[in-house]
């Protein structure tokens, strides 16, 4: 594990649940997972409700995503009980969706808001659990998860009322989710199973990087026509035509997405994943900086990771009114999700006390090896 960790790109200030630091940590189970969920969820939601001045009983829809921890009662019930939400609140719990579930849960909440005239506030809580998913064996591909996954949580409040627009930070312009599970290699690229000694873990196989690259290309074939400027669309269409005429011998050129997005929050799955996405999208080191720095400071926080990147842009005061932000995340199965946001205010207008980068942003970017 130490050898893997030293090459992971993570720094020394990431967060783990308390059981990781106990001598008898092999005994940590449900109690630790519940503590991990409570501390992350309650702090994120408390901060969100305080900033927005929205009363909990105004919430119409609750979406909670946690890929690998599904207790009874559910995490949504935990939130309903804590904040005394209305009896008619529409609650959804998403599980098993992998690191893309943060993006997918926003997509779900947005679709509900767009299709219902009686629903106005949707609370989305995005978290993950390490405690019940620690791997106790010695299979290298499964040990990777112990080394890169860390504690993290995010909470988002979505609203569809025009009167609330002045209070909003971003407008959700577009969302896209694609599922590539029909490909067996992509389906098994990250897979929960037992090792030869019966220890349960999630194996991150060598196919994971290939799946990320291949399925990202398929994803952007759908996304590109919806977001690219005309000049890039013409260039991309000509490249795709040449590729088709060559019967696949010539790969179509990847369009320049920096022409339609001022900021890109790419999947922080690990050092190799960031590098692969950078190569596929032809991104500069400056464009992948937020992902690399988020990995160093917070590790792979799974479904909430793209929101830590967004917080990096905000802490650096880089977001201006009207800027477009692309969030891109991968999930087991294999899924790719995109969110396109438009900023409604400048990040220089107001400093947020709960930005997770506040105590360290002056040290970043750093040279992370």
Contacts of residue 336, Cβ cutoff 8 Å, sequence gap at least 6: 100, 177, 178, 180, 215, 216, 218, 219, 328, 329, 330
* 146 and 191 assigned to the same domain: no
Chosen domain end from 130, 146, 167? 167
What SS3 state is found at 264? Answer: strand
Catalytic residue selected from 147, 159, 180, 263: 263
The helix (H) or strand (E) run that includes residue 122 is: strand 121-127
Q: How many domains, in total, are found in the chain?
A: 2
**Distance of alpha carbon 309 from alpha carbon 287, whole angstroms:** 11
Q: What is the pLDDT along the chain (369 residues), one digit of tens a residue?
A: 888 888 889 999 999 988 888 776 665 578 889 999 999 999 999 999 999 999 999 999 999 999 888 899 999 999 999 999 999 999 999 998 888 999 999 999 999 999 887 899 999 999 999 888 888 888 888 999 999 999 999 999 999 999 999 999 999 999 999 999 998 999 998 888 898 888 888 888 888 888 888 899 889 889 988 998 888 888 877 877 877 777 767 777 778 888 899 999 998 888 888 998 999 889 999 999 999 999 999 999 999 999 999 999 999 999 999 999 999 999 888 999 999 999 999 998 877 888 999 999 999 998 755
Question: Quick check: is 322 in a domain?
Answer: yes
* Domain encompassing residue 255: 170-363
**Are 163 and 176 part of one and the same domain?**
no
Asked about 360 being catalytic, the answer comes back as no
| Residue at 225 is within a domain | yes
Catalytic status, residue 160:
no
**Omega of the bond prior to 178 within 30 degrees of 0, cis?**
no
Q: Is residue 306 part of a domain?
A: yes
User: What letter would DSSP give residue 67?
Assistant: S
Q: Which residues contact 64 (CB under 8 A, 6 or more apart)?
A: 41, 74, 75, 76, 79, 91, 92, 93, 94, 105, 124, 125, 127
| Same domain (yes/no): 350, 320 | yes
Q: Which two tokens stand for residue 139?
A: 């299979």
Task: Tell me, yes or no, whether 368 lies in a domain.
Answer: no
- My answer on whether 8 and 124 are in the same domain is yes
The answer to whether 296 is a known catalytic residue is yes
Q: Indicate whether 204 and 296 sit together in one domain.
A: yes
Q: Please check whether residue 291 is in contact with residue 265, taking contact to mean a CB–CB distance below 8 angstroms.
A: yes
Q: Any idea what the CATH number is for the domain that residue 322 is in?
A: 3.40.47.10
- Considering the domain architecture, whether residues 292 and 250 belong to the same structural domain is answered as yes
How would you classify the pairing of strands 263-265 and 190-194? Answer: unpaired
pLDDT of residue 287: 93
Residues 181 and 321 in one domain: yes
99 is catalytic: yes
Domain final position from 105, 140, 167:
167
Q: Does residue 302 lie within any of the structural domains?
A: yes
Catalytic residue among 120, 139, 179, 199: 179
Q: Are 163 and 310 in the same domain?
A: no
Residue tagged active-site, from 147, 238, 300, 362: 300
The answer to whether position 369 is within a domain reads no
pLDDT of residue 369: 53
- Whether 207 is covered by a domain: the verdict is yes
> Within this chain, do residues 266 and 187 fall inside the same structural domain, yes or no?
yes
Catalytic residue, candidates 99, 147, 260, 265: 99
Active site residue 362: no
Residue 310 confidence (pLDDT): 96
pTM of the model: 0.91
Task: Verify that 141 and 234 share a domain, yes or no.
Answer: no
3-state secondary structure of 326: strand
Active site residue 120: no
**Are 90 and 195 contained in the same domain?**
no
Same domain, 223 and 119: no
The CA distance from 111 to 108, in Å, is 5
Domain's final residue, options 137, 167, 197: 167
Residue 13 belongs to a domain: yes
């Amino acid at each position: 594990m130490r050898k893997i960790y030293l090459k992971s790109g993570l720094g020394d200030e990431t967060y783990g649940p308390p059981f990781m630091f106990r001598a008898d940590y092999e005994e940590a189970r449900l109690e630790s997972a519940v503590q991990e969920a409570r501390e992350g969820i309650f702090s994120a939601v408390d901060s969100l409700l305080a900033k927005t001045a929205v009363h909990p009983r105004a919430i119409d829809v609750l979406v909670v995503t946690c890929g690998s921890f599904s207790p009874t009662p559910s995490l949504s019930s935990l939130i309903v009980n804590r904040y005394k939400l209305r009896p008619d609140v529409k609650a959804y719990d998403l599980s098993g969706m992998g690191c893309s579930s943060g993006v997918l849960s926003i997509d779900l909440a947005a679709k509900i808001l767009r299709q219902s005239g009686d629903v106005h506030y949707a609370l989305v809580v995005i978290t993950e659990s390490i405690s019940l998913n620690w791997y106790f064996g010695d299979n290298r591909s499964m040990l990777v998860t112990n080394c890169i996954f860390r504690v993290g949580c995010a909470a988002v409040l979505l609203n569809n009322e025009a009167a609330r627009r002045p209070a909003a930070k971003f407008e959700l312009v577009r969302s896209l989710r694609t599922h590539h599970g029909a490909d067996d290699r992509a389906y098994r690229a990250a897979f929960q199973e037992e090792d030869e000694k019966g220890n349960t873990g999630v194996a991150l196989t060598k196919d994971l990087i290939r799946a990320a690259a291949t399925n990202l290309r398929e994803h952007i074939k759908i996304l590109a026509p919806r977001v690219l400027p005309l000049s890039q669309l013409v260039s991309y269409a000509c490249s795709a035509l040449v590729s088709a005429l060559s019967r696949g011998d010539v790969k179509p050129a990847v369009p320049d997405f920096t022409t339609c997005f001022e900021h890109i929050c790419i999947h922080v799955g690990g050092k190799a994943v960031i590098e692969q996405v950078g190569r596929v999208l032809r991104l500069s080191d400056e464009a992948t900086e937020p992902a690399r720095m988020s990995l160093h400071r917070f590790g792979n926080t799974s479904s909430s990771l793209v929101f830590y990147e967004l917080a990096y842009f905000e802490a650096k005061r880089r977001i201006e009114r009207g800027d477009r932000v692309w969030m891109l995340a991968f999930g087991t199965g294999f899924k790719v999700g995109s969110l396109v946001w438009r900023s409604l205010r400048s990040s220089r207008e107001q400093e947020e006390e709960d930005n997770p980068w506040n105590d360290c942003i002056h040290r970043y970017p750093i040279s992370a090896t």
